[in-house]
Structure 1
Amino acid sequence: MSSAPGPHTGIFREENAALRCLFGYAGNDLERPIPEVVLHCPKLESSTIKDVLFVSVDVDTFQGYEKISEGQKYHIGVTILDTRRLIDLYNTSTTDTWNTERIVKSTIKSYQYTIGRHRYTQRADRRFSFGASEAIDLSDIQAKFGTLVAQRRYVLVVHGGNEDAKFLENFGIVSSAAYIMDTVKAAQFILRLHYRYSLERLLEALQIEYRNLHAAGNDAHYALRALLMLTVKDAEQQRSTNSLVDDRLIRCLKRIEQTLAPGADSSTSGTTQVSHHGHQVPRH
C-alpha cells in the first residue's frame, strides 16, 4: 500500500500550520491560519523554532476513561522533546557520534508510570523499552507531570487521543497545554492520506522500527518520533518553494531518529511489529 494515495488527498489542517510554526518554517501561504496561542509562543534565541517542550502522552486502561477511581488500573507514557536541546544538535558535527548520542538522550526522555498492582500493569512494566516503569498512585499524576514540564510551555502530542484527553483533563494537563498536536490529523496532509492511520501503520509508513506497542510508555515514545519524521517529510516537501526551511532542522531530526533506531543503542533494539495482515490494530 502506498503511503501517498494521490496528489489531491489529504487535508491541510490547523495542526499542519501549527507544526510549521513550531519548527520555524511557516510561510505566508498557509491554507489554514496558525493558532494564536502557537503564534505567540516565544522563539528560541537566534532561531525561528519555538521555545517549547513537545510532550507526548499515552494512557492505557481496560476500565474506561470517562470516570476515574482509585481502584482502576492504568499505564501512562510520557516522552518529552526539549527544543532548547534540539538547537544544541545544530552545532554538533555529524561525525561526533558520542556527543550526538549524549545530546539526543538529553533532548528526548521517556517515562512510564503504572497505577494499580495487576497483571495488566505488570505486563506493561515488562514491555517498556526505554527505562524502568515507576509505580505511582492516582493522586501523584498532577505532581509528576508538573515536575516533568517544570513550568515550561508545552505542546501536548497525542495519536488519536480523544479518550486520553478525557482522562488527562482530570489533572489539568490538557487545559494547561499551549496546544494539542494530534499526529493522526497532522499525518493526513503530509502523507496525502484519505483516511486515518493507526500508530502501527503510521510507523510503518515512516519506516520507524518499533516493538512492544500497547505499552503506554512505548506508544508515547513512538508517537513523538513519528511527529519528528512527519516534520522531516513536510519540510523536505516544502524545501524547494519555502526559503524558511532550514536544512539543519531536517538534518538534526534525522540524526535523532538514526540515533534512536535499533542497532544505534541497545536500549531501543528490537524487531518491527507488523499488524495482522497489514490491517490497522485498535489502539487500546
Structure 2
Amino acid sequence: MLRFGRKLSFSWSSFPRPLKSSEGVILHDPVVKSTVLLSIKALSSRQLRNYCRRVAVEQSAADAIAPVSTKAQLNNLPPTKSKGGLQIVQEALGLSNATYPSLWSRSLLLSIDFEHLDNIRSGFTKGGNCQVGIATLDTSNLQKDLLPPPNNLIETYNYVSGSNQYIKKVIPKFIFGESLVVNSASILKMIELIIPQHQNRRIIIVSHGIQNELMALHALGYRFSANMHAVCSHRLAVETLGLQCALGKLLRWVGCPYHSLHIGGNDAHFTLKACLLLALHNNHDTEDTTSLAGYLKGVATSDVPHQSQPEVQTGRRG
C-alpha cells in the first residue's frame, strides 16, 4: 500500500515528480501520448487523483503527469528515433505554445558526433583513429531570471584517439576549447562522464543522421536509459524545410556561421545550433533580442571562434 510521509499538496512548481510504492514507481514513464495512469487507486489524495483525471482527459496522461524514475532502467538497445522531433525540441526550449508545463521541460539537449565510425564499430580492429564530439545544452538554464551569455549556453567536448600523426592533424581544428587525447579503451568512460544515466530528467540526443551515432554508442557498449530520446536533425530539416542535405548545406541554409567540419566536437556543436534554428523557423519573435526566441537565435548565430593552436590535454599517457 502506498504511504506518504507528509500531506500531499499540489502545485505547478513541484510538478511533475515520481510517486513510489513498495513495488516501485506507480506511474509509468510516459514516453508516448497513449500512456495511461497506472495504479491510480494507490493515490491517497482525492484532490490529486481528481486533478490527474481531469488533466488527463484534457491533455492525455503523458502531459498530465510526467514522472521519471530517479534510477533510470539501463538498456543495451539504443532508443528509436522519436516522431515529432520538432515539437520535442521546441517544448524543451520553451518555444511551444503549450499553456501547461511540458514533459520536455528542463531536458538536457545533447548532440554527439563520431568520426571514423568504421573503426569504432569494428572494435578498433580496423584502426585506432577516431573522434568523439559532444555538445550539451541544459534547458534548465533557460528558465533562470538571468540567462547565460550566448557563447556560454552550449558546452562542447572533443576526444581524440589514434596515431600521433592523426592526433597532431586533428587537434588544432577543434575550435571550442581543448581536445582531450585518450586511449580507445577509455572512450566509453569519457562518454559516460558527460552523459548522465541516472538523472530524473529527460535527455534528448540529437545528431545529423543519428542512427550512425546510436550504432557507434551501442558498439562501444554504452548502456542507454529509458529517459533517453533520439532526434535526427536530418529529419528535422525535412520536416521543417523539406530539405534533405548534409550538415554543411543545412548550416548555410539556416544561416548558421561555421567552419572546420568533420571534427567531432565542431560537428556536434554546429548540429545543436542547427536544431535551434530549425526550432525557431517561422518564429516571429526572433528579431526581439529581449525574447527567448531572440536570445536563442543569438546563440545559434553567434560568431565562430577562429581556428587556433590550443594546448592539448592528454589522458592517455602515464
Query: TM over 0.5: same fold?
Result: yes
Aligned residue number for residue 121 of structure 2: 66
Shift of 1:180: 0.6
Corresponding residue SS for 1:139: helix
Residues in 1 aligned to 2:116 and 2:234: alpha-carbon distance in whole angstroms: 20
Residues in 2 aligned to 1:131 and 1:159: alpha-carbon distance in whole angstroms: 22
Corresponding residue SS for 2:135: strand
Residue identity in the other structure for 1:17: Q
Q: Kindly provide the CA deviation profile for residues 90-120 of structure 1, in whole angstroms up to 9, marking residues without a partner as x.
A: x34xxxxxx753xx45421101001122433
Contact 2:134 2:156 in 1 (8 A): yes
The root-mean-square deviation of aligned C-alpha atoms, in Å, is: 3.0
Q: Kindly provide the CA deviation profile for residues 238-272 of structure 1, in whole angstroms up to 9, marking residues without a partner as x.
A: x9xxxxxxx833122123234x324xxxxx147xx
Aligned residue number for residue 248 of structure 1: 291
Residue identity in the other structure for 1:19: V
Aligned residue number for residue 216 of structure 1: 264
Residue identity in the other structure for 1:233: H
Contact 1:206 1:229 in 2 (8 A): yes
Contact 1:110 1:217 in 2 (8 A): yes
Contact 1:57 1:157 in 2 (8 A): yes
Residue identity in the other structure for 2:228: A
Aligned residue number for residue 120 of structure 1: 166
**CA 1:171–1:106 in 2, change beyond 3 Å: closer, same or farther?**
farther
Aligned residue number for residue 204 of structure 2: 155
Contact 1:23 1:50 in 2 (8 A): yes
Q: Kindly provide the CA deviation profile for residues 50-102 of structure 1, in whole angstroms up to 9, marking residues without a partner as x.
A: 111111000001744532137521111001101111223xx34xxxxxx753x
How high is the TM-score relative to the length of structure 2? 0.59
Corresponding residue SS for 2:87: helix
**Identical aligned residues as a percent:** 22
Q: Kindly provide the CA deviation profile for residues 182-231 of structure 1, in whole angstroms up to 9, marking residues without a partner as x.
A: 100011121133xx111000000011111110111110110001111111
Does 2:105 correspond to 1:50? yes
Shift of 1:174: 5.0
Shift of 1:19: 2.5
Residues in 2 aligned to 1:143 and 1:64: alpha-carbon distance in whole angstroms: 18
Greater helix share, 1 or 2? 1
Residues in 2 aligned to 1:76 and 1:215: alpha-carbon distance in whole angstroms: 9
Counterpart pick for 2:139 among 83, 89, 92 = 83
Corresponding residue SS for 1:19: helix
Counterpart pick for 1:189 among 221, 239, 243 = 239
Contact 1:158 1:181 in 2 (8 A): yes
Contact 1:59 1:164 in 2 (8 A): yes
Q: Which has the higher contact order (CA 8 A, sep 6+)?
A: 1
Gaps of 5+ in 2: 1-82, 308-318
Does 2:272 correspond to 1:229? no
Q: Kindly provide the CA deviation profile for residues 7-49 of structure 1, in whole angstroms up to 9, marking residues without a partner as x.
A: xxxxxx5222322333345568xxxxxxxxxxxxx95xxx886
Contact 2:114 2:264 in 1 (8 A): yes
Which stretch of structure 1 is more off in the superposition, 247-256 or 126-135?
247-256
Residue identity in the other structure for 2:235: K
Residues in 2 aligned to 1:198 and 1:85: alpha-carbon distance in whole angstroms: 30
Aligned residue number for residue 17 of structure 1: 87
Residues in 2 aligned to 1:176 and 1:61: alpha-carbon distance in whole angstroms: 28
How high is the TM-score relative to the length of structure 1? 0.66
Aligned residue number for residue 244 of structure 1: none
Residues in 2 aligned to 1:48 and 1:172: alpha-carbon distance in whole angstroms: 25
Gaps of 5+ in 1: 1-12, 29-41, 93-98, 240-246, 263-267, 271-284
Q: Kindly provide the CA deviation profile for residues 151-174 of structure 1, in whole angstroms up to 9, marking residues without a partner as x.
A: 443111110132222111233255
